[in-house]
């Protein structure tokens, strides 16, 4: 197995773990944590492709991951604030019980 | 080779801790999940060091294990989540999740093994040093940098508005 393939397979598995968390757990906070895991897997992909690219001196992968971490931090903060206001309204964080918009 | 062994050890740690984040057989407490997320992120920072992205490893620990995890723990402790621990996982949701995730892993791994990436690439030489990174961030990538800063400001104002008790 080449080194790049190892990193890509690891990141695919980590993405799958995060997806499993977001799909199977019903606690909204754990769903957000699963999304964070998926974002981290994508970041690992960026770094691996940068490291084994033809022009690593361009640093594009690292710069992209820096922006991605910034966006992820903003996303986590907004998501948690939404969870707080949902909890105030429904007294629960179970994503199955928050179904007012469900037809 | 030492880096190969380190890669396998760190990869195994990342996967084990990641699995414990979403499906812990011993505890359904969200605080345990958050703590295992910290361990996952720290072992991923080790992987970043292996990939010679030293600055990013530091940023990963600072931002994720520091700032974001404090946010998560604050919200978990702010909300009363005792009932979540008793709730059972629905069987249909579990089966659907496991099947779709297994399918995605199969597709990813099969396509990766079929294409065999980087088989004839030269060994990497360059290192992402922080001085060049800062120079790039303030010259070529100045616009995205400023956009991210405005995004963070907007997110901060939005979070304060959203979590206020009564909007006026």
| pLDDT tens digit sequence for A65-100 | 999 999 999 999 999 999 988 888 888 888 878 877
Q: Is the pLDDT of residue B143 over 90?
A: yes
Give the pTM: 0.88
Give the span between the Cα atoms of B76 and A30, in whole angstroms: 10
Closest CA to B37 of B24, B61, B13, B21: B21
Is A98 inside a domain boundary?
no
**What confidence score (pLDDT) does residue B151 get?**
95
User: For residues B128 and A59, is the Cβ–Cβ distance under 8 A?
Assistant: yes
Is A69 inside a domain boundary?
yes
Which domain CATH number covers A44? Answer: 1.10.287.3510
Is A40 inside a domain boundary?
yes
What 3-state class would DSSP assign to A27? strand
B66 Rama class: left (phi>0) / alpha (psi -120 to 50) / beta: alpha
Closest CA to A24 of B103, B25, B105, B101: B101
For B:38-57, CB contacts with A below 8 A are 40-41, 44, 47-48, 51-53, 55-56
Comparing CB atoms, the residue among B93, B116, B148 nearest residue A24 is B93
Torsion angle, CA of B11/B16/B22/B27, rounded to 10 degrees? -160
Is A96 inside a domain boundary?
no
How many domains does one find in chain A?
1
Q: Give me the domain span that covers residue A8.
A: 3-90
Structure confidence by residue, pLDDT tens digits, A5-57: 888 889 999 999 998 888 888 888 889 999 999 999 999 999 988 888 877 77
Is A36 inside a domain boundary?
yes
């Amino acid at each position: 197995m080449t080194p790049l393939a190892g990193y890509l397979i690891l990141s695919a598995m980590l993405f799958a773990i995060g997806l499993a968390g977001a799909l199977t757990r019903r606690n909204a906070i754990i769903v957000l944590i699963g999304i964070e895991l998926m974002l981290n897997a994508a970041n690992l992909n960026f770094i691996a492709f940068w490291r084994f690219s033809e022009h690593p001196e361009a640093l594009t992968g690292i710069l992209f991951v820096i922006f991605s971490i910034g966006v992820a931090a903003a996303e986590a903060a907004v998501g948690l604030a939404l969870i707080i206001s949902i909890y105030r309204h429904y007294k629960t964080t179970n994503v199955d019980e928050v179904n007012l918009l469900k037809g | 080779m030492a880096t190969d062994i380190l890669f396998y050890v760190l990869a195994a740690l990342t996967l084990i801790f990641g699995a414990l984040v979403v499906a812990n057989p011993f505890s359904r407490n969200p605080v345990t999940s958050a703590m295992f997320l910290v361990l996952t992120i720290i072992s991923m920072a080790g992987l970043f060091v292996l990939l010679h992205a030293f600055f990013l490893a530091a940023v990963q620990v600072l931002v994720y294990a520091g700032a974001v995890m404090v946010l998560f723990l604050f919200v978990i402790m702010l909300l009363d989540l005792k009932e979540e621990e008793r709730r059972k996982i629905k069987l249909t949701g579990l089966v659907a999740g496991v099947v779709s995730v297994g399918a995605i892993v199969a597709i990813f791994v099969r396509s990766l093994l079929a294409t065999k990436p980087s088989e004839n690439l030269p060994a990497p030489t360059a290192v992402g040093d922080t001085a060049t990174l800062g120079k790039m961030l303030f010259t070529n990538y100045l616009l995205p940098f400023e956009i991210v800063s405005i995004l963070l400001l907007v997110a901060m104002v939005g979070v304060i508005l959203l979590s206020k008790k009564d909007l006026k």
